[in-house]
Amino acid sequence: MRVLVVEDDAVLADGLVRSLRQAGYAVDLARDGLEADSALLTGVFDLLILDLGLPRLGGLEVLRRLRARDSRLPVLILSGRDGVEHRVRGLDLGADDYLAKPFALEELAARIRALMRRGHAGSPALLRHGPLAYDPAGRVAYIRDEPLEFSGRELAILELLLRRAGRRVSKEQLLGHLCEWAREMSANAIEVYVHRLRKKLEPAGIRISTVRGLGYCLEKEKWHDAPQQALVSSV
Ligand code: CA
């Protein structure tokens, strides 16, 4: 899941970006309306979090241009406490939800999850691979319908491997998928996360193979639908 945050208040932007990354989203930040507009023209995002009072180009105009391009990208507006009129205009222009400042990060997280569920209504809700199922909207992975604990970064890597199951995914692609996290991460860190994923997935017979020097591959049809007892005894 890739999120574009548009916010000119440095402190708020910093807090938003950090908490969204902790929740496992890949996050890009634009600090003014023009930067946001060009990011939306070139980048592929799953969600836009848009402040309204922005330098160079206002948030409502960013939204108007986005919808004029027929984009159906889910948009959540952040607005000042007294911005009722702006909120109404934002919703009229095609925003999906709004949150008045100041807000609790927990509420923002819940609204994002709700938007993602709605946004994915037209596409398959779950990515499946043998006994493994992943819900990208709810960010939960299941083995035979039992939820499994993964960190945000593990989930981000797992999601890309699942979307390309049976095909090779390079470390660079995985780093790119993690977006700005990649700045703090090395290829070695990817190895660590893949190692953790393997430990969690192998009891269910799901293998991530290493393509030497090239990357990783979530093996297709190599797993066997192991009987339930085998799974239980190996946990
Ligand atoms: Ca602002």
Distance 52 CA to ligand 1 centre (A): 6
**What would the CATH number be for the domain defined by 127-218?**
1.10.10.10
Task: List average pLDDT for each run of 10 residues in the chain, which is 235 residues long.
Answer: 93 94 90 94 86 94 91 88 78 91 91 80 68 82 88 85 86 72 70 93 91 86 46 36
Report the separation in Å between the CA atom of 100 and the middle of ligand 1, taken as the mean of its atom positions.
12
**Ligand 1 mean position to 166 CA, how many Å?**
45
Ligand 1 center to 200 CA (angstroms): 43
pLDDT in the model for residue 152: 80
Tell me if the domain spanning 2-119 has CATH number 3.40.720.10: no
**pLDDT at residue 230, as a whole number:** 37
> What is the distance in A from the centroid of ligand 1 to the CA of 51?
6
- Report domain extents, the chain: 2-119, 127-218
pLDDT single digits (tens) 153-163:
888 889 889 88
DSSP letters along 95-115, please? --EEEESS--HHHHHHHHHHH
**DSSP character for 77?**
E
**What's the gap in Å between 90 CA and the centre of ligand 1?**
15
Amino acid present at 225:
D
Domains 2-119 and 127-218 share a fold: no
Q: Extract the tokens encoding 163.
A: 């979307």
CA distances from 184 to 155, 179, 189 (A): 18, 10, 9
Distance 13 CA to ligand 1 centre (A): 10
Return contacts of 226-232, CB within 8 angstroms, 24+ apart: 226/131, 228/144, 231/131, 231/143, 231/144, 231/203, 231/204
Residues forming a β-bridge with 135: 140
